[in-house]
């Protein structure tokens, strides 16, 4: 798998799948965390996770850009 594809998958696909899977799986749940439906807790949890995924994708992409500059 190329680094560019890996960067795209980590930066975009992982957060989208994580958020959508949580909405689908937890949307009908009546469980509450601190008075909020569990799906909200899931979405709030994915905010920093998405930032970490974007950071990791940027780091991978930066390596690709550095290699292109050196070539």
- Say which DSSP state 56 is in: H
Question: DSSP characters for 8-48?
Answer: HIIIIIHHHHHHHHHHHHHTT---EETTEEHHHHHHHHHHH
Query: pLDDT tens across 2-14, in order?
Result: 888 888 889 999 9
For 21-69, the pLDDT digits (tens) are: 999 999 999 999 999 999 999 999 999 999 999 999 998 888 766 666 6
pLDDT of residue 51: 96
């Amino acid at each position: 798998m190329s680094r560019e594809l890996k960067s795209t998958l980590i930066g975009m696909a992982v957060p989208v799948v994580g958020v959508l899977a949580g909405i689908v799986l937890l949307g009908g749940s009546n469980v509450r965390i601190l008075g909020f439906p569990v799906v909200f807790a899931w979405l709030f949890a994915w905010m920093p996770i998405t930032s970490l995924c974007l950071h990791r994708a940027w780091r991978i992409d930066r390596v690709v850009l550095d290699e292109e500059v050196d070539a």
